[in-house]
Every structure is written in C-alpha cells, then in structure tokens.
Structure 1
Amino acid sequence: MMSRMRKHHLFWPLCMLGLLLLFNLIYSPDFFSLVIREGNLYGSLIDILNFGAPLILVSIGMTLVIATGGIDLSVGSIVAISGAMACMTISKGTDQSSLWLVLSALALSIGLSLVLGMWNGALVSVARIQPIIATLILMVAGRGVAQLITDGQIITVSNAQYQYIGAGSLAALPFSIFIVLTVLLIAVLLTRKTALGLFIESVGNNARASQLAGIRSKTVILAVYVFCGLCAGIAGLILSSNVSSADGNNAGLWYELDAILAVVIGGTSLNGGRFYLMGTVVGALIIQTLTTTIYMIGVPPEVTLVVKAFVVLAVCLIQSDAFRKSMAERLKKRKFPAEQGVNRHVS
C-alpha cells in the first residue's frame, strides 16, 4: 500500500507541502488559526490561497504548453500588460464607478491576452520558431508594451467593482479562489473528459507522428498558447485589482519561472507528454507557501531568492526517482563493505 502511494505523482509534492505547513505551525502556533471579520475568513492559509491564485492560474496554462513540449516565457509580461490595459481603460473613463466601464476594461484586457497568446502560438506552430525563442520575444517586448500603456507610471484606480475581482469575497472566501476553481474545472473537463488531453499528450510525445496519425498538431499547439495567454491575462486582472493599480515594470515579475517550477514540482516533464494539473496546483501552493514562510521568518529581502532557489532545488531532488535511487544505491554500497568486514571477523 505504501509503495503504491510513493509511486503516485502527488505523493512527494504533498509531503513537501505538508512539511512546509508543519514548519510554519511550529514556528508560529497560530499559523492555522482562522478568524471571521465582517463575515469573511482571514488567516495565513487564506492569504496563501488568495495571493497564490494568480500563480496557480499562470501555472495551469503553463502546464498545457509544457505538455506539448513547449515553454512560455512571456506569461509575466502578459500579466503586466493585462493589468495595465484594464487600469488604463478605467482611469480614462468619465464615470469611475460605472459597471460598463469595468466590463469594457475586462473585455479589452482578456481580448488582448488572447491575441498575445495567439501570437506566441503562431510563432511556434506556423513559423516553427523554437518555443523558448518565440516567447522570449514577447517576454522582452511585453514589458515595454506594458510601460507604454501606463506611460511609465503606476496607474491607480478607485472602482469598487474592479477591486472586487482581487480583493472581494464570496461565501466568506476570497473571490479569486473561485476564479481559480472555475478555470481549473474548465481545464480538467476539457483535457480529461474530451479527446483534447490525449491530443496534447500525443503532440508532446511526438508532434510529427501525431500529425501523421491525423491530429492537427499546429491547431493543438496554437490552442494551448492561447489558453496560457488567457490564464495570464486573468492573473493580471487579479493582481492589479487586488492593489487597485498597475505597474508595468514589476507586475508579474518572475512569474514565468515560478510557473515553470510549479509545473515541474507537480510531476509534469519538461520534455512534454503526460501532464498533471492537480500536481501543478500543489506545486504552485508549495511555492506560495515557501514565499510566505520566508517572509514570516524574517529572511532579508536581498537573500530571499537565494533561499527560495535552494529550497525548490531540494524539493525537486527529493521527488526525483533517479536521485532517490542513486542515493539508495550509494547507501547500500557504503553499508555492504561494513557487513563484509563483520562477517570475516566472525568467521
């Protein structure tokens, strides 16, 4: 029974998440405490889910891209562009409290994110540019586009409807959690209840063979990049609405790397093929919990990324089957000579 559990792709990620939570509980006994204020739940666990919502969204889209054997380095820039477009649209409106103004801002941001995702997908599937190069173009240029939209300034908005996206609550929980659950449910239904998931895995294993088998590989690749752009766009809306502002320079910074790490920690191979959406969610929660832990124990900001990198490296090594087998073999080799010496002495 235990051996079967160890072979499950969620076993080691869940163990690492549990260890992080246990450390936080030991360091701060009230870490798991939840309080209700004005009908809403507050606490460290709620903060992890709320602040981790944008990363989970980006990671879900990144999972499908990586499953096709690709990569998307532009998600952080799309996050910044989406938030910048929404805040700029609202700030230019005559009636700041208008619901139609918010809906227009959301439509423009989501539409632009879809176009950017389609741009990446077209470069990879039609122009046949390597994914890391194709998305690197938008990663670099996207920051400039976001700053052009904001004119190099931090745009602030004061619209209650827009703030509700990232800072509002529903059923005592942050509204962002329900957005993540909706996107995750759609992704699971599309990839596990239809043939799309098999198409994605087939293209990731061998795009040429999939095309010869009748699968439209280019269409599948284009679709996953569009979906990834959509997820990044929604994440940008959550981030900007949570702070009621848009920062084209810092919004979504390093999100692409955190998303890739979340996908890898969740068990999806960077070589493409089989993917695990729930594993990705756990991986994103591990990264967000780790970030919360680092801030809670008072690690200086200048070494935060270094500590985070070492912990993530340890997580990846622990869940690596090859690494665990190698360490087990080394332990056996060290133990065997000792046993031999004991046997010779006895004889």
Structure 2
Amino acid sequence: MLYRQSRILILDEPTAVLTPREIEQLFDAVRAMAAQGKAIVFISHKLEEVMAIADEIAILRKGSVVDEMPAESVQSKAELAKRMVGREVLLKVDREPLEPRQVVLRVRGLRDSVLDDISFDLRQGEILGVVGVAGNGQKRLVEVVSGLEPPQEGEIRILGEQWIRFFSKKRWDASLSYIPEDRIGVASCMGLDLVDNFLLTTREGFSSGPWLRRAEAEKKLKELIEKFGIKAPSSRVTARQLSGGNLQKMVLAREFFRRPRLIVAEQPTQGLDIGATEDVWRILLKARERAGILLITGDLREAMTLSDRIGVMFGGRLMDLFPVSDEEKMEKIGPLMAGIET
C-alpha cells in the first residue's frame, strides 16, 4: 500500500495477530503516515487501542454510525463503552480466588506435526489462559483436547480417563463442553430455531427411548434465556436472528446446562462488543466453581482478567506457564509470544 502511495488506508482489526511490541511499532507507523497527510480508518473493538491512536471516533452499531466525536472529548474507556452499548459498563470483573481441586485435564508430552512437547495440568476451580499469536498451535491443542483430532504422541487424561476411553463413552452431562471460536458455523445451526440449537448437545437429556421431549426442552430453554439474559423475542426464532453477543450467551447457556467439569473455551468473546464481553466474562468466572476452564484467547486483557495461570505458546511449544500473580513473568508475555526465551 505504501509502495502504491495510497492516500487512504483501511485497517480492519490490524492488531489481532500481533504481539504487544509489534502493536507499538504499528502505532508508530500509523502516526507517521497520518503526519504525512494520509487518511487512516482504524477499525477495532479494543477501546484502549482506539483511544491511543484515533483523532476522531465513530461508533458503529447494527450497520449504522450512531455517534461521532473527537477522541479528545472522550475522558475514559468507561465513557466510550457507555456510548457504544447504551449503558454503564465497568470493563472489569471480580475474580475471587478459588482453591484448586482435583485435576480434570492432564497433558504430557503432546507432540505431532504442529505441537511440540506440550505438558500441563488443569484443575477444577481454575482458569488456565493460553495466549499467543494466532497460528502457533493453539487451534491444534483445542482440537486434540476436545476430541476433534486424536493425539499422535504423548498422553492426555480427561477427568481421570485416557483420551481414547473418555471419548469412546463420553457422557452428555457432567463431562466436557467445547465452546468453539466459530459460533456461527460450528457452535450453532443458523437456520434452526433456538430449541433445536439447544438440543444439539443436550438431546440425550430430553430423550425417552426413540422419543424426544421437545416441549420439556423448550421449557428449560426459556428458563435459561431468562437466567443468562439472552435477548430473544421467543424460543422459536432462528439462531440467525440473534446478535453475536446473544448467540454466544445462547451457546454458553446450552453448554453450562450440561454441568461440565471441563470447559474448553476458544476465543469466547471474539467479535463481541464490550457489554457482551463483560457478560461472557462473568459467566465463565461463575462456571469455574464446578469446572476447570482451558481458555484459548488472543486478547491479553481477557487472559489477564480471567486467568489464574497463563501459558504462552509459540511455534507449537508452551514457552512458559505461570500464575498471574507472578508480576515479573507477566511483564515478559510479549517477548514470549515472539518466541524469545526470557
């Protein structure tokens, strides 16, 4: 774009796959281009980035620009968040420490064409956040732990059972729940109504022989819609009629109804506005009371807010694993994401 001497640049979520240091370098370059007279449209849902780089801010909601303002007129992220979602947003949640209990996931020496000697334990009562630039093995780790791909080398024990035994007789409840990154294409069927989407992973709980107790499932779904604050006209609307945030809360309501003891949450707030993100964070923190949560996220703020421990991945390796209380190591997350041993 620079070689072509473009005068207008549109950057859509440009920091999604960058380390903190690379983000700083990008911002320096963006400021330099703006100083040269170029016009830059910077699209992001990360409020701190918008406030750090923008001269003017426009808020887009449901396909329309609903507000515009000079960046200097916005006093805080909380004020910007309120303008975005129309209500007060705290931008933080209280993560009360819990006593870790039994091991729900044990990984030892996991290796294949992507992963390189991955080992860790996850206990009930804790959230283990795995961060890293996209494409460094996080996706394969999720696929193997969730049963989508078999482990090639190494050992995985889920709820005390070997991987192959666990998935050969997996229960529908009190077991493992997977919250995929793709809530539209994988976690739900957009053309089906909410009741059928609810039954995608819970139907065994509403079956009597060959019969499906759909009315009972719909009654339970209505209770969950109320409990999780899902904004839906009725349980009979299709999934595509929900906003991204409400669809994600629908997926979470369905999976947590199964009372899982192990939760694999992959990019659970990707693409959500700040209000929906806060709701999802609260739901995940509540869920760790009875489960261990493996959180895969590219959002460092999310990882630091929710996690009890953080693991950093690069090149298929787990570069380091440490508690969020270790301030010295928390400072080194950026270099670790770039593959720099510290």
Task: Point out the structure with max Rg over C-alpha.
Answer: 1
TM-score normalized by structure 1? 0.25
Structure ranking higher in strand proportion: 2
TM-score normalized by structure 2? 0.25
Structure with the greater relative contact order (CA < 8 A, sep ≥ 6): 1 or 2?
Answer: 1
Structure ranking higher in helix proportion: 1
